[in-house]
Structure 1
């Protein structure tokens, strides 16, 4: 099966929007991707500067172009602020499998984010299941529900 993903799809729930990550997101992403507490279960060395965050975003987009990853940011539709990052990484279209990573800003953790999302993170999973068989959940910074 030849799967073509040329653009990062925009996915929507009642309260949240997932759109492709952009270099302009670096400053906002740094707020939580550079936070040791938020990143404690993901890496001992989170990004420290906006420049480092831009480099990470460039790597995400490069891996997307290589069909190895699909990176999104999660936006609160009401406030328009970025509340997290969601990625399919270690994407293998030949074997039809991926791992999923989500990092949610601390102020959205333990507040029913996933419930408010209406299980909305299932939408990209459903999108991907249409062309893949196996998905591995990995890298949640903290439980999404208290």
Structure 2
């Protein structure tokens, strides 16, 4: 069975009705900075708000290094209507032996409450279960991040419990809510037919 990393060389470009999921490039610097510098966007992330364009460039340097090293890197979320990057989504960790991975994502606040991230996550779940042959996909969020919890629930993920003092972030130990979806759940909800939209 192929490793998850093997499916990212070349990097897979995915599509939904409203967005294209593709590699981030240096030409996206201003787009990425436009939401990473917004305190409301980083409020519920484990990373701090970007204070300058240099912070965003350092992030893109990290991303480009992952691409060039044939490692799993994030998808930039390109909004078809404007052809601008409005967020990102990635497998932030994975386990080849146990066929599972964890998703992480962020979206510009200008595009909140429009169903875009739900659309994105459904497409990546499809890729994960059907292409990567994963058995389980997880996602976690801070307890107060109600928007992210709703996205997970709308994509068929089930709440599994509160992981207490799981990580050190924002100068404190943070609890995280754990959600997951397994392949059987996904196939039950979306079937085994052609790609979902």
**TM-score where L is the length of structure 2:** 0.62
RMSD value over aligned CA atoms?
2.5
Deviation at 1:6, TM superposition (A): 0.7
Q: Counterpart in 2 of 1:133?
A: 135
Residues of 2 paired with 1:33 and 1:143: CA distance? Answer: 17
Deviation at 1:95, TM superposition (A): 3.6
Deviation digits for residues 31-83 of structure 1, max 9, x if unmatched?
1112111110113622222222121122233345353x330111111211222
Residues of 1 paired with 2:63 and 2:97: CA distance? Answer: 20
Would you tell me which structure has more helix in proportion to its own residues? 2
Deviation at 1:113, TM superposition (A): 2.7
Q: Counterpart in 1 of 2:61?
A: 58
Aligned partner of residue 40 in structure 2, secondary structure: helix
Aligned partner of residue 8 in structure 1, secondary structure: coil
1:17 aligns with 2:20: yes
1:35 aligns with 2:50: no
Residues of 1 paired with 2:64 and 2:77: CA distance? Answer: 16
Give yes or no for contact 2:93–2:102 (8 Å, CA) kept in 1.
Answer: yes
**TM-score where L is the length of structure 1:** 0.80
1:2 aligns with 2:34: no
More moved, 83-92 vs 11-20: 83-92
1:88 aligns with 2:91: yes
After TM superposition, the runs of 4+ consecutive aligned structure 1 residues lying more than 4 A away are: 139-142
Equivalent residue pairs, number: 142
Deviation digits for residues 81-101 of structure 1, max 9, x if unmatched?
222111111133344222111
Which sections of structure 2, spanning at least 5 residues, go unmatched? 152-197
Aligned partner of residue 74 in structure 2, secondary structure: strand
Higher RCO structure, 1 or 2 (CA under 8 Å, sep 6+): 1
